Structure 1
Amino acid sequence: DRNNLQPIEHVLVYDPTGSVYTDINGEADIQKFSGSDSLAFYHSFYRELRVAWRDLAAENFRVSLRERVVNMNEVVVAASRWEQNKQEVPGKIAAVSARDVAFYNPQTAADLLTVSDQVFVQKSQMGGGSPMIRGFSANRVLIVVDGVRMNNAIYRSGNLQNVISLDANSIANSEVLFGPGSVIYGSDAIGGVMDFHTLSPLLREEGGWQARGGILTRYASANEENTAHAHLSLAGRRWGSLTSVTFSKYGDLRMGSRSHSGYRRPDYVERIAGRDSILIKSDPDIQVPTGYDQINLLQKLRFQPAPNWDLSYGWHFSRSSDVPRYDRLIETRDGRLRFAEWYYGPQEWQMHALTLRHTAPRRLWDVAKLTAAYQDYRESRLDRRFGSDILQERVEDVDIFSLNLDIDKGLSERTSLFYGGEWTHNRLASRGEERDIVSGTAAPIASRYPDGANYTTAAAYLSLKSNLSPRFSILSGVRYNHIRLNADFDKTFYDFPFEGIRLRTGSFNGSLGMVYRPTARWQFHLNLASGFRAPNIDDAGKVFDSEPGSVVVPNPDLASENAYSIDLGIVKAFGDRLKIEAGGFYSLLRDAMVRRDFRFNGQDSILYDGELSRVQAIVNADEAWVYGLETALKADLSGAFALRGSFTYLKGEDGDGFPLRHVTPAFGSVHLMYEPEKFRSDLYLLFNREIANKDLAPSEQEKPQIYARDRNGNPYSPAWYTLNFKAAYQFNPRWQVTLGIENLLDLRYRPYSSGIAAAGRNVIVGLRAGF
């Protein structure tokens, strides 16, 4: 690679007499071509190059390839769980490569998703990030890690921050599938699927062992981030190992200094001499407290006992420190801060996954993959009101067991069958406790969820891909899902009008997509798909979830919601210099699960944690709809310059005509890139349009503390833009330095629905070394 000097595997080296491929070291034996006048070098991600033999000899047989800006031959996995040519996929998929992650230096996996410029991320606190895809978020979008679904039984409908458990520095590649993906992935895949693939061990054909690895150190000024990362890969003929470690420490986040002074909060709470005191910050642009720490570990082993058998094991571990919930810490009551403390306890996630893969033509499969996984997820919430000595804590621990079978069977040269099944079981432990921070005495309180609840799913799917002609492809599929939920309620604290919940439900889903390629430079696609989300324990069985002035109670009559979507798209390439993409979609959500006013034992308000609160519950409303337009452009300019841009527009309402909470403002980007040998730079603009008060969802209108005020004093989300610059220089194949300046103009802004203002001017310096 002429930009980062790294070896390129699978480069086709050929002349009219034959061909060879490069290995993982970017090397190939070309002795058989010694009589040739020239050789051609081809890789789908790079510009094809033809070099005269004498020029090869003059360069000591070292060849540098330039990455393609315009590429019509990309390979994706998210559409079917197997590698496919993107030209055969009747839908939108955005990818973020490890190369882009190394260049843009996202701090978290949530920030990694924004590198695509096509996913909006909301943040309630700095230690978080809730992706919003096509007007859906939280438990209406699915996270998949190495083929295993990460969503569990307590993923909530509010903004969800779990994606930060993944380590951006150990992601090999990630893809976002836009629109319903329930045929392949099951429940929750309504708005889209985030498919992450982490680093994996390599094997080598020759005997002996080969060690490869890398280290990273990074500093960011806006939150005084200090990150250290290292990974080591050991490759043998049959055995391989991959170890990755990342530690990050983040200080309090500084917002910008220009515009929207209302986002400033000059005061904060500190306990002094046993009493809560309100202090004034020396710098009101510092958001106190927002800092936290996180560690991520990854260990993978791979064993290939025979050429057609492959066994791999992966262990993922992530643990954060306490994470301040900043949007709660800026709430006021009677002109005074409401909470002295509100934070998430350490968020801990680990996964053990064992995958067996068999590759050989059989009657029922060509490739079969079986994955058994266990996840342990733990989260907690702690809060204490200003002036109170009572700290309340609610702790959740979820055990998740899963089994996935995925099969790829070629029926002919043009037709492939993908089928398989999935089983998951979630087991929940939930408890609540209040503790006097002065005396140390503790007593139980109502838990957030019914302790001992369980949630089980079973599914089977079938998908057929057929290239009916060189110009026309179809991809269709069906899936059946069965869901069981059991929860018993403890009446110690509240007299529930029911003993528990026994939910038994099923769902059929289908999809039909078509791709038409009249020429090599044109592509049209149409995709019809349905998706669904079954009620989980958070939806149906949440005991109480306090929000300002309201509580949420269980609803034993909750049913699944279903989405129906149509997706149209067009891609046009002008030679290998320019590619334009445009598309639109419409999604209808029926029996949508939304929060509405409710009655508990005939009452519309109850006393909860000493506060009279309006009763609400998750119910199946009539319907909701979302439509949108999406465009993207890539242009290879003269020399080493390139241009890239994107724009997304969304609109959505529920059946009562109210705007939907997770429909984001229109947003987009423009990038001007310069990539000569050894150097890469990007000057880019990110922008968001305004959401006026009348276009805010009712639930957002009730959060004035996180929004700016318009001329009438009503909350709204202002438009904003940032100018940013990133650069990287590759000294040699081992050493690289990166420099970034985000928000060059130091503007003060808060992304839509976020409880924390974004970073002000942020200088990022990174050093990478590889061996």
Structure 2
Amino acid sequence: MMKTAHYYVFVCLFSLLFYSLSNAQIGGIVKDSKNFSPISDVHISIVGTDLGTNTDQDGRFSLPYSTFPVTLELSVLGYESRSLQVYRSDSTLAFFMKPTVLSLDEIVIAPDRTINPITNTSPIARSSVTIEQLSDKSTVTAVELLRAESGVFVQQTSVGQGSIYIRGRAGRDVLYLFNGMRMNPSFVRSGQNQYFGAIDPLLINKLDVYRGPISVYYGSDALSGGVNISPIIYDFSEDSKLSGDLVSTFNFEGNGEKTVHGKFAYQTPKASFFLGGSLRDFDYYKMSSRTEEALWFPYDATLSNADYSFKSMQFSSKIKTSTESDLTVVSYYGEIPDAARLDRITLGFSIEAQESELTPQFGYYSNTSPLLFWGNTVEFRTSKVSKAFESIGIKGGYFRLKDFRKEQDFAFNNAPEYSVNIAERDYLFEISDTTNFDQNTSNQYHFSVDIRSALSKNMYLKWGGDVSFDRVQSSRHSNTGQVQLPRYPDGSVYILSGLFAQIDQLVSEKLSMEYGVRYSQTYASIPFEGILTDRRYDPYSASYSQLTGSVGLTYKLSKDIIFLSNLSSGFRAPNISDLSEVGIRRSDQFQTPNTELRPEKTGNFDIGIQYQSDRFFTEMYAFWLHYFDKITRIETGNIVDEYGNLVDPATSPDPFAVYNEVTNENANSMDLLGIEFRGSYQVNPTLKSGLTFTYTWGNLTNENGTSEPADRVPPANGIFYLDYSPVKKLSIRPQARYAFAHRRISPDEIGDIRISQNGTDGFVNLQLFINYKALDHFSIKLIADNLTDAAYREHASSLDGMGRNYTATVSYSF
């Protein structure tokens, strides 16, 4: 299989790099007629044909065509459409478009702190998925949209969930933003988290992935990167109009998905309103017929207990308050009522111990009971206030995130028993009626101010500040009435604030620079219950401050080649989870808090090259990410009981109720190096090929100077695809998603039942996407996944990928 994977990758690379450029071309640049700046996303079509394209971020375009003269039509939001004739092959054309007063029937793209307002570019490495690209994506979860994107890896612990890895890190090292405001709760933990599972992929306008630290823009947690979720917001329209989409999706032989989704928008010259929502049901999770069934003991390759449901709703409105200002309101609600965490109720790779009488950890366990995210934002934005204040944006928000868990043990003497000998396995079991609940809620209040000032024609200042207040509610109890100390002290408070300034400068026609600095302040109040309680700590508070900065440049080496580089720093202040979590972790550890922690810090350096010709586009980044003062869980050497009291294991009355004491310390440093590549080639007007490839290498240096592989670093991975559009209404996309074998695993991974002690095998997953617009208002999307029914697994996931399965989506638009 790995030989096949290598073969695919080399064939793809060579086909992209050496394909002959033979057809005549129409190409050039489109600019604003007033300020002569390039215009991106202009749609250019050849009248009388199905051929068309869009301008890139630099306003450039190309169309292969050899019969002249031709008539071109140009159209884009905010500009008057144009028709003009071209009489010969020419790739140096320059067209100008006149701005209009109103934008037409388009979705709003929210301002982005990372974008240079002069060049509309950014030195930060980034990947984006837009609403228009959903036709070529699986939409089971929001994280599915980012599978195999350049610089991104997806790990799935259970159905309906998934964690995004950016430059080898996930969990608390990656900052999630919803509509530009932090979504991470103050108790986000070090490992993978399930929070992105509460986001409906069908209600996302755009996902922006920032690769590398973005603390200079958004503060704490952005150590290795971030993801911004832009919800759907419609702009104004010259005429009042009602539009919408109705969507139904069904899956066969994979997860039994049944989805009903709707979107409705009403637009007027002074206001827009949007309402959308989904009801989704997943009946099971079926893996390949070639999977190793012992991994799923006491179940089989069709996990019937992997059923779950999902519901969501979003409302948004944009109101014109004057000719230069508007008010935008967004309210989103997403919930998974209950979904089993499968690595806690199956054996996984613990079967490699080759022991009899093994049993799963729990009869039932869920970390989504429910998983709920309710996000609300209100933004007022005005422009042309004065020369010093070209635009001002004031935004407020309230986010509630519920991280509720429940667990049930096996009934007494009724647990299943695994044996190496198949005939001796006992698959029968009963689950206890006693249910334990672990309920944690984050209540975040946000406020931010973003100001843009024109210092000169070639220099802009973006500056402002933000503050986030999070109050944690936490409880633990059972359905029998027993009450325990909560996971986190109830009423814990976490406040993040910061002031930032960034200068964007057009130094010359070829060189643009960005300089940024941010001062961040963090305050944590931990209301421990007192030294006489089981937690044995008195209340305390802590504060942290951090200065972060960045310098980036974009340099045009030629009309086709751009050089990019970025030097930046990131940090993560100790959060409620780091500072207060006490109790049993896993099966053999007892966590003790450390009130003397310092912020983690990272330094990042990356360089990139972008090349774009009439047919060929490629981008490659190389990066080095270094962690300082990494917060790591270490063993203290003490043996304690279930309450944290020191015990002698030799004299303990219950030898199974003793634990190794662990605590968090700023003990380690870590280095991550990697390459991120994406490229595409327009073979002819109907065929396009593309490839992504991401490789990350990580090494952890311990406090004593020894080193080991960094934990959970993804394998080399990517996709190769062909986009074929023989007619305007039909598109066909065969795709190969691949990953190389990953044998360099950390000591923690060796002890993780989700990962084989031999590492993770490589794989190639062949997929087929077909989109057909049957009528003007009806379209059909078909997905055939895992065509070879291969048994494969993403590294560190608790599930194999689904076996051969099929998904059909029918859409009606009006």
TM > 0.5 between the two?
Answer: yes
Q: Partner of 1:663 in structure 2?
A: 713
Deviation digits for residues 454-485 of structure 1 (CA, Å, limit 9, x no counterpart): 00011000001111011111111000000000
Partner Cα separation in structure 2 for residue 76 and residue 698 of structure 1: 44
| CA-CA distance at 1:195 after TM superposition | 1.3
* Residue 516 of structure 1 pairs with residue 540 of structure 2: no
Identify which of 687, 700, 704 aligns with 2:749.
700
Partner Cα separation in structure 1 for residue 321 and residue 33 of structure 2: 37
* Residue 648 of structure 1 pairs with residue 648 of structure 2: no
Q: Partner of 1:34 in structure 2?
A: none
Partner Cα separation in structure 2 for residue 98 and residue 609 of structure 1: 56
Deviation digits for residues 51-77 of structure 1 (CA, Å, limit 9, x no counterpart): 9999799xxx9999xxxxxxxx9x997
Unaligned runs of 5+ in 1: 1-11, 29-39, 65-72, 269-283, 436-440, 709-713
| CA-CA distance at 1:102 after TM superposition | 3.1
Q: Partner of 2:91 in structure 1?
A: none
* Residue 500 of structure 1 pairs with residue 539 of structure 2: yes
Q: Partner of 2:6 in structure 1?
A: none
Q: Partner of 1:526 in structure 2?
A: 565
Residue 77 and residue 691 in structure 1: after superposition, are their counterparts in 2 closer, same or farther (change >3 A)?
A: farther
Residue 528 and residue 167 in structure 1: after superposition, are their counterparts in 2 closer, same or farther (change >3 A)?
A: same
Any conservation in 1 of the 2:574–2:599 contact (CA below 8 Å)?
Answer: yes
* Residue 243 of structure 1 pairs with residue 275 of structure 2: yes
* Farther-moved stretch of structure 1 (505-514 vs 723-732): 723-732
Any conservation in 1 of the 2:523–2:541 contact (CA below 8 Å)?
Answer: yes
Q: Partner of 1:116 in structure 2?
A: 149
Partner Cα separation in structure 1 for residue 670 and residue 218 of structure 2: 22
- 1:713-724 matches, within 5 Å, as 714-724=757-767
Partner Cα separation in structure 2 for residue 645 and residue 41 of structure 1: 22
| CA-CA distance at 1:341 after TM superposition | 1.2
| CA-CA distance at 1:201 after TM superposition | 2.5
| CA-CA distance at 1:364 after TM superposition | 3.2
Identify which of 258, 267, 288 aligns with 1:226.
258
Residue 113 and residue 453 in structure 1: after superposition, are their counterparts in 2 closer, same or farther (change >3 A)?
A: same
Partner Cα separation in structure 1 for residue 615 and residue 215 of structure 2: 36
Deviation digits for residues 272-304 of structure 1 (CA, Å, limit 9, x no counterpart): xxxxxxxxxxxx211242121010100012211
| CA-CA distance at 1:582 after TM superposition | 1.8
Deviation digits for residues 479-529 of structure 1 (CA, Å, limit 9, x no counterpart): 000000011222599544531331111000000011110211011112110
SS in 2 for 1:558: coil
Any conservation in 2 of the 1:91–1:569 contact (CA below 8 Å)?
Answer: no
Residue 633 and residue 81 in structure 1: after superposition, are their counterparts in 2 closer, same or farther (change >3 A)?
A: closer
Partner Cα separation in structure 1 for residue 461 and residue 83 of structure 2: 39
TM-score by length of 1: 0.85
| CA-CA distance at 1:262 after TM superposition | 5.7
Residue 242 and residue 81 in structure 1: after superposition, are their counterparts in 2 closer, same or farther (change >3 A)?
A: farther
Q: Partner of 1:340 in structure 2?
A: 363
* Farther-moved stretch of structure 1 (544-553 vs 398-407): 544-553
* Residue 130 of structure 1 pairs with residue 163 of structure 2: yes
Deviation digits for residues 553-589 of structure 1 (CA, Å, limit 9, x no counterpart): 322111100000101111122x211122222111110
SS in 1 for 2:235: coil
* Residue 624 of structure 1 pairs with residue 670 of structure 2: yes
Residue 115 and residue 702 in structure 1: after superposition, are their counterparts in 2 closer, same or farther (change >3 A)?
A: closer
- 1:325-364 matches, within 5 Å, as 325-331=341-347, 334-344=357-367, 345-364=369-388
Partner Cα separation in structure 2 for residue 115 and residue 680 of structure 1: 20
* Residue 44 of structure 1 pairs with residue 90 of structure 2: no
Letter in 2 for 1:665: P
Q: Partner of 1:558 in structure 2?
A: 597
Q: Partner of 2:577 in structure 1?
A: 538
SS in 1 for 2:661: strand
Partner Cα separation in structure 2 for residue 716 and residue 421 of structure 1: 45
Between Structure 1 and Structure 2, how many residues are aligned?
705
Q: Partner of 2:248 in structure 1?
A: 217
| CA-CA distance at 1:628 after TM superposition | 0.6
Residue 247 and residue 446 in structure 1: after superposition, are their counterparts in 2 closer, same or farther (change >3 A)?
A: same
Partner Cα separation in structure 2 for residue 142 and residue 727 of structure 1: 34
Partner Cα separation in structure 1 for residue 401 and residue 540 of structure 2: 23
Partner Cα separation in structure 2 for residue 529 and residue 56 of structure 1: 43
SS in 2 for 1:738: strand
Identify which of 506, 514, 517 aligns with 1:478.
517
Partner Cα separation in structure 2 for residue 514 and residue 731 of structure 1: 47
Q: Partner of 1:588 in structure 2?
A: 626
| CA-CA distance at 1:611 after TM superposition | 3.6
Partner Cα separation in structure 2 for residue 760 and residue 742 of structure 1: 8
| CA-CA distance at 1:43 after TM superposition | 4.8
Partner Cα separation in structure 2 for residue 79 and residue 15 of structure 1: 21
Letter in 1 for 2:266: L
Any conservation in 1 of the 2:487–2:582 contact (CA below 8 Å)?
Answer: yes
Residue 47 and residue 468 in structure 1: after superposition, are their counterparts in 2 closer, same or farther (change >3 A)?
A: closer
| CA-CA distance at 1:662 after TM superposition | 3.0
Q: Partner of 2:722 in structure 1?
A: 672
SS in 2 for 1:527: strand
Any conservation in 1 of the 2:148–2:717 contact (CA below 8 Å)?
Answer: no
SS in 2 for 1:523: strand
| CA-CA distance at 1:763 after TM superposition | 0.6
Q: Partner of 1:438 in structure 2?
A: none
Q: Partner of 1:744 in structure 2?
A: 787
| CA-CA distance at 1:220 after TM superposition | 1.8
Any conservation in 1 of the 2:186–2:575 contact (CA below 8 Å)?
Answer: yes
Q: Identical aligned pairs, as a percentage?
A: 22
Identify which of 766, 772, 776 aligns with 1:733.
776
| CA-CA distance at 1:445 after TM superposition | 1.2
Q: Partner of 1:393 in structure 2?
A: 437
Q: Partner of 1:311 in structure 2?
A: 327
Partner Cα separation in structure 1 for residue 403 and residue 328 of structure 2: 29
| CA-CA distance at 1:251 after TM superposition | 1.6
SS in 2 for 1:411: strand
Any conservation in 2 of the 1:450–1:543 contact (CA below 8 Å)?
Answer: no
- 1:744-763 matches, within 5 Å, as 744-763=787-806
Residue 286 and residue 474 in structure 1: after superposition, are their counterparts in 2 closer, same or farther (change >3 A)?
A: same
Letter in 2 for 1:380: F
Partner Cα separation in structure 2 for residue 217 and residue 123 of structure 1: 25
Partner Cα separation in structure 2 for residue 447 and residue 26 of structure 1: 56
Residue 319 and residue 14 in structure 1: after superposition, are their counterparts in 2 closer, same or farther (change >3 A)?
A: closer
SS in 2 for 1:470: coil
Partner Cα separation in structure 1 for residue 213 and residue 534 of structure 2: 39
Identify which of 460, 477, 483 aligns with 1:433.
477
SS in 2 for 1:661: coil
Residue 583 and residue 42 in structure 1: after superposition, are their counterparts in 2 closer, same or farther (change >3 A)?
A: closer
SS in 2 for 1:101: helix
* Residue 162 of structure 1 pairs with residue 173 of structure 2: no
Any conservation in 2 of the 1:337–1:386 contact (CA below 8 Å)?
Answer: no
Any conservation in 2 of the 1:132–1:662 contact (CA below 8 Å)?
Answer: no
For the aligned residues, what is the CA RMSD? 3.5
Any conservation in 2 of the 1:87–1:515 contact (CA below 8 Å)?
Answer: no
* Farther-moved stretch of structure 1 (316-325 vs 630-639): 630-639
SS in 1 for 2:296: coil
SS in 1 for 2:678: strand
| CA-CA distance at 1:613 after TM superposition | 2.5
Letter in 2 for 1:248: R
Partner Cα separation in structure 1 for residue 323 and residue 668 of structure 2: 55
Partner Cα separation in structure 2 for residue 761 and residue 424 of structure 1: 45
Letter in 2 for 1:479: R
Partner Cα separation in structure 2 for residue 604 and residue 163 of structure 1: 41
Any conservation in 2 of the 1:463–1:477 contact (CA below 8 Å)?
Answer: yes
Partner Cα separation in structure 2 for residue 753 and residue 605 of structure 1: 35
Any conservation in 1 of the 2:288–2:790 contact (CA below 8 Å)?
Answer: yes
Partner Cα separation in structure 2 for residue 605 and residue 416 of structure 1: 66
| CA-CA distance at 1:158 after TM superposition | 1.1
Unaligned runs of 5+ in 2: 1-28, 46-50, 74-80, 85-94, 96-107, 351-355, 413-431
| CA-CA distance at 1:154 after TM superposition | 1.1
| CA-CA distance at 1:337 after TM superposition | 2.9
Any conservation in 2 of the 1:368–1:406 contact (CA below 8 Å)?
Answer: yes
Partner Cα separation in structure 2 for residue 761 and residue 589 of structure 1: 41
